[in-house]
C-alpha cells in the first residue's frame, strides 16, 4: 500500500471510513466522554473554590444549583443526540456550566431585588 505524501495523517479514508493507519476514527461516545470529563473537572475546581469562600455557603449553593442545572442539560443533550453529537451539543456539554452559573446568579439577583420591592 503506497502512502500519499500529500495526504494528511488525520484525514479519513472515505472508502472504508478508517484512518490511513488502519485505525477506526474516534467514536462519538469518546467525544462525549472527553467533553463530560472536561465539564466534570471544571465543575470540581469551581466547587472546591466556592466551598472555600467564607460567605456562609451562599456561593457554594449557587454553584451547586448551577452544576445540577448543567448536568440536567447534559442529559437532555445526550438523550436528543446519543450517537451523533453536533459541535453545539459538545459545546453545551463542555461549557454549559458557565451559562448555568450566569443564569443562576441573574435569577438569584432578580429574586432578591423583587423580594425587596415586594416587602
Q: Does residue 36 sit within a domain?
A: yes
Question: In DSSP terms, which residues pair with 13 in a beta bridge?
Answer: 18
What pLDDT sits at residue 105? 87
Number of domains the chain is built from: 1
Spatial distance between the Cα atoms of 112 and 118, rounded to a whole number of angstroms? 10
For residue 1, pLDDT beyond 70: no
Q: Does residue 16 sit within a domain?
A: no
Q: Does residue 2 sit within a domain?
A: no
- The residue with cell 467564607 is 54
Average pLDDT over all residues of the chain: 82
Q: Cα angle at 46 between 44 and 52, to 5 degrees?
A: 105
Q: Does residue 17 sit within a domain?
A: no
Average pLDDT value for residue range 60-81: 94
Q: Does residue 22 sit within a domain?
A: no
For 114, other C-beta atoms within 10 Å of its C-beta total 10
Which residue range(s) make up the domain with 73? 28-118
**pLDDT tens profile 89-103:** 999 999 999 999 999
Q: Does residue 85 sit within a domain?
A: yes
Q: Does residue 12 sit within a domain?
A: no
In this structure, what C-alpha cell is assigned to residue 95?
A: 461549557
For residue 44, pLDDT beyond 80: yes
CA atoms within 13 A on the CB side of 114: 6
Average pLDDT value for residue range 6-32: 57
Average pLDDT value for residue range 60-78: 94
Q: Does residue 7 sit within a domain?
A: no
Spatial distance between the Cα atoms of 12 and 23, rounded to a whole number of angstroms? 10
Spatial distance between the Cα atoms of 74 and 80, rounded to a whole number of angstroms? 10
Amino acid at each position: 500500500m503506497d502512502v500519499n505524501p500529500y495526504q494528511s495523517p488525520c484525514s479519513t479514508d472515505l472508502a472504508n471510513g478508517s484512518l490511513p493507519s488502519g485505525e477506526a476514527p474516534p467514536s462519538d461516545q469518546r467525544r462525549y466522554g472527553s467533553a463530560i470529563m472536561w465539564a466534570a473537572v471544571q465543575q470540581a475546581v469551581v466547587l472546591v473554590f466556592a466551598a472555600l469562600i467564607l460567605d456562609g455557603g451562599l456561593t457554594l449553593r449557587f454553584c451547586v444549583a448551577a452544576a445540577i442545572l448543567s448536568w440536567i442539560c447534559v442529559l437532555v443533550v445526550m438523550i436528543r443526540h446519543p450517537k451523533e453529537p453536533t459541535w453545539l451539543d459538545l459545546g453545551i456539554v463542555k461549557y454549559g456550566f458557565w451559562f448555568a452559573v450566569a443564569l443562576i446568579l441573574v435569577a438569584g439577583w432578580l429574586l432578591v431585588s423583587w423580594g425587596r420591592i415586594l416587602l
